[in-house]
C-alpha cells in the first residue's frame, strides 16, 4: 500500500466506506460507476450501461492496483486515501494472464505461482495461485490449454455458484451493504 494512503488512514480514521462506484470485469478492466450506472443495474448484470465508464487513465489504474486488497470477510476494495472503495466483481478478485512459458501475472501486473486449475460447468478456467483465486483472461485460454495438454496443470471440476464461498470472496459488497440490517441510533 502506498505510504501516502497509510498516512491518510491514520490522519482520518473514520471516513465512511464507499460502495458500488468501482468495478472489475472479467478482462481485468476497471470501471467507474456513477449514479446512472448503479441505477441501471448490478455491475455483473449485463444490462447496458450498468458497468459504467471504462477507466483509461494509466496512473489512476496503477494507483488502484497498488492499493487493492480484501477485508476479513472477502470483500475486495481499493484503499483511496482514508476511504475504502469496495469493488464490484464481475467474476473473481483476480484476472490471470498466462505467458507462453506458463508464467502467471495478475491484472495488477503482479506475478503469481500456480497452485491449482479449475473449470466450471460453463467451461470457464480459473487458477488458485500464491496470490489468490481468479479467472483466466479469455485471450489466454489457449496458453492455459497448452499447460493442461502438457500435464503441467491438472484441471478440477467446480460449480461456479460455489466459488465465492469456497475461495472466500464477495462479488458484490454493495449488495451485502444494502442487505445489512440498519443500525438504529441509541440514546
pLDDT for 113 beyond 90: yes
pLDDT digits (tens, 9 = 90+) for 53-86: 999 999 999 999 999 999 999 999 999 888 899 9
pLDDT digits (tens, 9 = 90+) for 26-53: 999 999 999 999 999 999 999 999 999 9
pLDDT of residue 148: 94
Domain extent for 110: 94-167
pLDDT of residue 145: 94
What are the start-end ranges of the E strands in the chain?
18-24, 30-32, 53-54, 68-70, 76-80, 83-89, 94-98, 104-106, 111-112, 114-119, 125-129, 133-136, 155-157
* Domain co-membership, 69 together with 14: yes
pLDDT of residue 11: 58
Cell of 3: 505510504
The total of structural domains in the chain comes to: 2
Say if 163 falls within a structural domain.
Answer: yes
Burial class (CB in 10 A: 0-12, 13-18, 19+), 187: exposed
The mean per-residue pLDDT over the stretch 91-107 comes to: 95
- Cβ–Cβ under 8 Å, residues 126 and 171: no
Helical ranges in 109-172 per DSSP H = 141-149, 163-167
* Domain co-membership, 48 together with 58: yes
Burial class (CB in 10 A: 0-12, 13-18, 19+), 133: buried
Stated pTM of the model: 0.87
Amino acid at each position: 500500500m502506498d505510504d501516502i494512503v497509510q498516512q491518510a488512514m491514520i490522519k482520518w480514521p473514520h471516513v465512511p466506506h464507499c460502495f458500488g462506484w468501482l468495478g472489475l470485469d472479467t478482462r481485468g478492466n476497471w470501471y467507474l460507476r456513477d449514479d446512472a450506472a448503479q441505477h441501471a443495474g448490478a455491475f455483473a448484470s449485463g444490462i447496458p450501461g450498468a458497468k459504467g465508464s471504462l477507466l483509461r487513465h494509466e496512473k489512476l489504474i496503477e494507483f488502484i492496483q497498488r492499493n487493492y486488497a480484501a477485508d476479513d470477510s472477502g470483500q475486495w476494495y481499493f484503499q483511496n486515501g482514508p476511504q475504502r472503495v469496495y469493488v464490484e466483481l464481475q467474476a473473481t478478485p483476480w484476472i490471470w494472464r498466462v505467458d507462453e512459458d506458463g508464467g502467471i501475472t495478475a491484472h495488477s501486473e503482479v506475478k503469481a505461482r500456480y497452485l491449482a486449475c479449475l473449470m466450471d460447468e460453463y467451461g470457464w478456467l480459473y487458477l488458485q495461485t500464491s496470490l489468490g483465486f481468479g479467472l483466466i483472461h479469455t485471450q489466454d485460454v489457449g496458453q492455459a490449454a497448452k499447460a493442461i495438454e502438457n500435464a503441467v496443470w491438472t484441471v478440477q471440476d467446480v460449480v461456479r455458484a460455489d466459488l465465492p464461498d469456497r475461495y472466500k470472496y464477495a462479488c458484490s459488497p454493495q449488495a451485502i451493504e444494502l442487505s445489512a440490517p440498519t443500525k438504529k441510533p441509541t440514546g
